[in-house]
């Protein structure tokens, strides 16, 4: 019986959010800025930082629940036109750092990211320098395992 209500609630939420903007890259930036201001307010005990953080977080939620999809899409396209390369490079850097930590934790395999297509490649450890070929794009590079 509870499962039935959960399923109905999920369907209602899905229908309601289907007509909303949702999360996009600009919202991620706005939320990050708000979070940074809130953390700065915790360390400095400055109410201005807390107020600015709250304003950015509220702005993010206003954009998420906005019904004006065309306007939000134009804003995000404008943002991505000027900041898209930075956003993509940050994603790639984050992926590389995550794979480095995964390589440290995994005793049998090392993980690398292809420089061309950003495919994650798993290679056995202990082989010294190896010539790695990406299975997705056939790009080759040399790494030490």
Tell me the pLDDT tens digit for each residue of 80-125.
888 888 888 888 888 888 888 888 888 899 888 888 888 888 888 8
Check residue 20 and report its DSSP letter.
S
What is the spatial distance between Cα 144 and Cα 55, in angstroms, rounded to a whole number? 47
pLDDT above 70 covers what percent of the chain? 100
- 1-36 burial, b at 16+ Cβ within 10 Å, e below that, comes to eeeeeeeeeeeeeeeeeeeebeebbbbebbbebbee
- Give me 102's structure tokens: 């995964």
Which pLDDT belongs to residue 32?
93
Q: What is the mean pLDDT of residues 46-67?
A: 93
Which pLDDT belongs to residue 88?
82
Which pLDDT belongs to residue 36?
95
Which pLDDT belongs to residue 44?
93
Report the range out of 28-37, 60-69, 91-100, 104-113 with the highest average pLDDT: 28-37
30 Cβ neighbours under 8 A, 6+ residues apart: 56, 57, 59, 60, 63
pLDDT above 90 covers what percent of the chain? 25
pLDDT at 60 over 90: yes
């Amino acid at each position: 019986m509870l499962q039935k209500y959960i399923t109905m609630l999920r369907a209602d939420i899905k229908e309601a959010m289907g007509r909303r903007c949702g999360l996009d890259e600009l919202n991620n930036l706005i939320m990050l800025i708000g979070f940074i201001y809130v953390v700065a307010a915790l360390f400095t005990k400055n109410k201005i930082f807390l107020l600015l953080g709250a304003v950015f977080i509220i702005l993010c939620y206003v954009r998420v629940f906005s019904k004006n999809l065309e306007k939000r899409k134009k804003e995000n396209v404008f943002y991505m036109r000027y900041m898209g390369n930075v956003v993509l490079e940050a994603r790639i850097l984050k992926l590389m750092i995550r794979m480095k930590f995964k390589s440290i934790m995994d005793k049998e395999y090392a993980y690398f990211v292809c420089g061309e297509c950003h495919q994650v490649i798993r290679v056995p450890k202990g082989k010294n320098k190896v010539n790695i070929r990406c299975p997705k794009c056939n790009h080759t590079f040399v790494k030490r395992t």
